[in-house]
Chain A
Amino acid sequence: MGGNISQLEKQIGPDNFPNNERYCGLINFGNTCYSNSVLQALYFCKPFREKVLEYKARNKQRNKETLLSCLSDLFHSIATNKKRVSTVAPKKFIARLRKEKEEFNNYMQQDAHEFLNFLINRINEIILLERNHGKPKESTNDDKQSSDEPTWVHEIFQGILTSETRCLNCETISSKDEDFFDLQVDIDENTSITHCLKCYSNTETLCSDNKFKCDKCNSYQEAQKRMRVKKLPMILALHLKRFKYVEHYNRHTKVSHRVVFPLELRLFNTSDDAVNPDRMYNLVAVVVHCGSGPNRGHYISIVKSYDFWLLFDDDIIDKIDQSTIEDFYGLTSDGQKSSETGYILFYQSRDTDTKVTHADIRANGK
């Protein structure tokens, strides 16, 4: 272990090692790589990390243990680690997680995206709960307002999708907004994430059993529906749907299609009234699935830290060349079952990135 640690510092070089930055591998407690990989990716989503550490600073004497308090303790122990490179055991966090969610209360491999989804939503719930709890109860009206107010989880991850439906009978267009914390994207062979996102917003025709209830016609009608992004989130989390249920085998199998993802991204599938359609994203972290199926295999993550890339494989950390990222795009032909493929992509909006960088520079200057 010790040899490995000094090796990363050597790889990065003492002059290039970022001030105030810590890299901590996470110990695996029996198939907990789904959690480790997601936690590392989230740690390197700087806006998220900052908020979690802020939460820790604000709630020092709170003794009620929640998933968020465990997460903030974990992030705090990484950020304030004495050593620049070390290993941390997320024991308390995993124990809490197993208590909170029945499905995770075992030693089986879990789906990293399911875990991410659960974690983000639960943190949001905890913030809302604590917000209402902390306030003296006045009127129910105020309570409702405070729960409507966006949390920092919303500020970071929440985007808005607008679904436009056009009734083919009366031609009326109705649109409905819905929030999302991540986009779950179908993938196709030899495509780019850009293309998959475009397909996400393809127009679909609602017909036969799936007709649309048109308010104007007051009946079920054939309609065309399309989902586009109205508000682009600060951190765009993209889940590549690599596990497909195959009826023939009666189980999920892995889709190893090659899907390229650029380091810089803009969205084509924004709605006409989008708030920030020009948002430019930078890739900051990728959760990678290695292996042949959802319930076997391994999760690792690659993250960008300052101007280099790191690979976190539980307690092992390696500096990788940027060109290595292409190894995680997937396979051109589906001859092989096993593959190491990008599974969840985290893109951070560049406008927030620059803010963070300035803050970092100031912090480093001290």
Chain B
Amino acid sequence: MAINGDGSGKDEQKTRFSTREGVYSLMPLIEYYRPNRSNFSSTPIPLNAVHLSLVTVPGVRDYPERLCLNIGKELYIYVYKGIKSGADMATQIEKKTFKTMNPTCHSFNTSFTSSDSIPLLVGFNTGIITLQDLIRKDVCKVFNEEKLVDNTKITCIQWVPNSRQFFLSSHASGQLYLYNEELPCSASPPNYQLFKSGEGYAIHVCKTKSTRNPLYRWVIGSENSCINQFAFSPCNLYLAVVSQDGFLRVFHYDTMELVGIARSYFGGLLCVCWSPDSKYVAVGGEDDLVTIWSFHHKQIIARGQGHHSWINVVAFDPFTSSYSSAEQSSDTSCFSTCYRLGSVGQDTQLCLWDITEDVLRQPVFCSSVNIKPKTNDFSNNGDAIALTSTNHVNSNNCIAVPTHHHHHHHLNHNHHYNIHLGNHTSSNHHYSNNNNNNSSSKDNPATDSSSAGTLSRNSPPSIKQRVLLTFVEKRGDGGGGGGGGVGGTSKKYSTRSNSSGGSEKHCNYSIKHSELEDPMKLIGTAACPRFDQCPLLEPLICKKISNERLSALIFKEDCILTSCYDGSVYTWARPGKINSSNAHLVATTSSMSTTMSNDSTSTVV
């Protein structure tokens, strides 16, 4: 079955891929762990996701990076040499084997790492947390040892930004706990008192005579819906949490107020990350989509379709993203904003996405009709103005890559066109019916002018693009045919804008509890727009880079790190980072043996 529209050989595992900035090459495969295949076939045990934690130790000249990874019952710590590696690909500092539990996640305290202390938190599938120090071997603390706090798997563990002692851990039970590493856990099951609650969440404070861990308990989402990941914003003010109930919830961390929500198209959300300027949140999940949520507008502004299965990790690439640091950059400056997002998933593929200015500026969904005067003109007047206004938007963009870029124009046009349909359903009906077909819309000159404008930029449109095009337009078509029935999408549009009297009030986050109970009610709102209500991104690249499911993605200045469920860790040198000193290391299709030196191996209970 030919499914890859982009023409890439789907079964071939890639060792290099090129983007607009150049070619990324796979460094020698560092297989930190070689799973015993014969063991696997007799008793197939489901593996945990292999996560990577990385820290740079200040003051260390050669190889200052430490890498932590968990595989099955084992935890490994390496000196990470990146693309500068010599003969030894990685030096193992420590290997711990746990008999009764599996490490599931870990985190270095990057703010308080020095040559004297490298604190590392490890969470386990039993709910237990340990704190150790790579330098100070006397540090060895265990939290929730009796599993009195929570006995479900720890799904994510993070230090509170710039804090030496506070950390958060999320559990499969749907709860998030704040710990102070200096405090002991209470000897009996903790008693909680409601501290704060809001729509879809409640925060409890631990009630004890003397202060004990955990300090706070956050109960998030519907009952027992696993918290899959959380992330602090780079500005340190906000906490984004994604859960199996399909929700992204963004909190102001200090005030514990819920400031925004979004819903997956369907299914659980598995991963979350912030743009480096804290303006956008990206999530990925069981809908195979990458979803971009704008903090400012509190709404989903784009979706990315490219993965063939669930998305395990999303991460912004701060080194390839270009954005202005100023608070309000969008309207006046001609600075070209473009965020680079990466995602890896169960389809063994790495996708890179460029979120360009036209998508970011694109007045999406409800905001489009009322806030931007341009679009008001557009919906009130004829097609000619509509075209000028969109062209105007396009000409404002100053992004370097035309080949990649025109696709977004394509989407924008469709988007505008769709809004337009809401007001002129009958006149556009003909075109909509022929949406497979860019040459048959001649009968309707008005429509034709706009459609020609759209399609000529994309010539020759591939089949895939046509499919996309119809997706974007589909609700408009229904509106024409159903005499206003399904046209509700477009019509709702105008109704909404009328009722709100042009204010942007309804764009702000205001979710009633009932809506949280029934996600169906969110369909078509800013928290979960329909497919045609927000721009659809196509990946810049989409490459199969492994034979196993991918479970980690880290962007570094000179390379990209990925890992997968079988324990292999891949280092991809960035373009231009391969020189005469390391060129011989670049992986070829032939298998390469790697050397690893084991300094110490210990087994603990």
Q: Measuring CB to CB, which residues of chain A are less than 8 angstroms from any residue of chain B?
A: 164, 166, 171, 173, 186, 188, 190-192, 194-195, 199, 202-203, 224, 226, 258, 260, 262-266, 268, 270-275, 277-278, 280-281, 323, 326-327, 332-333, 335-336, 350-351
Contact = CB atoms under 8 A, between A and B. Distances in A.
Nearest to A202: B3
Given A272-B435, A278-B530, A332-B565, A262 B266 contact: yes
Given A190-B346, A332-B549, A350 B288 contact: no
Given A273-B477, A326-B46, A332-B547, A191 B565 contact: no
A323 B519 CA distance: 22
A278 B523 contact: yes
Give the one of A190, A258, A268, A327 with max B CB within 10 A: A190
Given A260-B310, A278-B530, A164 B520 contact: no
A203 B463 contact: yes
Nearest to B476: A272
Contact of B478 (A192, A273, A280): A273
B246 A264 contact: yes
Given A191-B309, A278-B523, A327-B46, A166 B436 contact: yes
Nearest to A186: B1
Contacts of A326: 46
A276 to B, nearest CB: 9
Main secondary structure on chain B at its contact with chain A?
loop
Interface residues of B, number: 54
B432 A272 contact: yes
A274 B532 CA distance: 14
Nearest to B434: A173
Contacts of A333: 547-548
Nearest to A187: B1
B184 interface: no
B565 A273 contact: no
B538 interface: no
Contacts of B287: 194, 262, 266
Interface string B278-316: 000000001110000000000000000001111000000
B235 interface: no
B474 A272 contact: yes
B321 to A, nearest CB: 28
Q: Please list the 6 inter-chain residue pairs (A to B) with the smallest Cβ-Cβ separation, ordered nearest first.
A: A262-B267, A272-B477, A262-B286, A192-B309, A266-B266, A272-B474
29 contacts: A166-B437, A173-B437, A186-B1, A188-B3, A190-B347, A191-B347, A192-B310, A195-B307, A199-B3, A203-B463, A262-B287, A264-B267, A264-B268, A265-B266, A265-B267, A266-B287, A268-B471, A271-B474, A272-B473, A273-B477, A273-B486, A277-B486, A280-B266, A280-B519, A281-B266, A326-B46, A332-B547, A332-B549, A351-B520
B481 interface: yes
A195 B309 contact: yes
Contacts of B549: 190, 332
Contacts of A258: 346
Contacts of B347: 190-192, 195
Name the residue in A226, A270, A273, A326 with the highest tally of chain B Cβ atoms < 10 Å from its Cβ: A273
Given A326-B46, A332-B565, A263 B520 contact: no
A55 B473 CA distance: 44
A203 B434 contact: no
A24 B2 CA distance: 44
A332 B548 contact: yes
B508 to A, nearest CB: 24
A192 B473 CA distance: 25
Nearest to A326: B46
A188 B1 contact: yes
Given A203-B467, A266-B265, A270-B474, 17 more contacts: A188-B308, A190-B308, A190-B346, A192-B286, A194-B287, A202-B2, A224-B436, A262-B266, A264-B246, A264-B267, A264-B268, A265-B267, A272-B478, A278-B520, A278-B524, A280-B519, A351-B520
B109 interface: no
A23 B437 CA distance: 54
A190 B470 contact: no
A240 to B, nearest CB: 13
A277 B46 CA distance: 35
Contacts of A264: 246, 266-268, 286
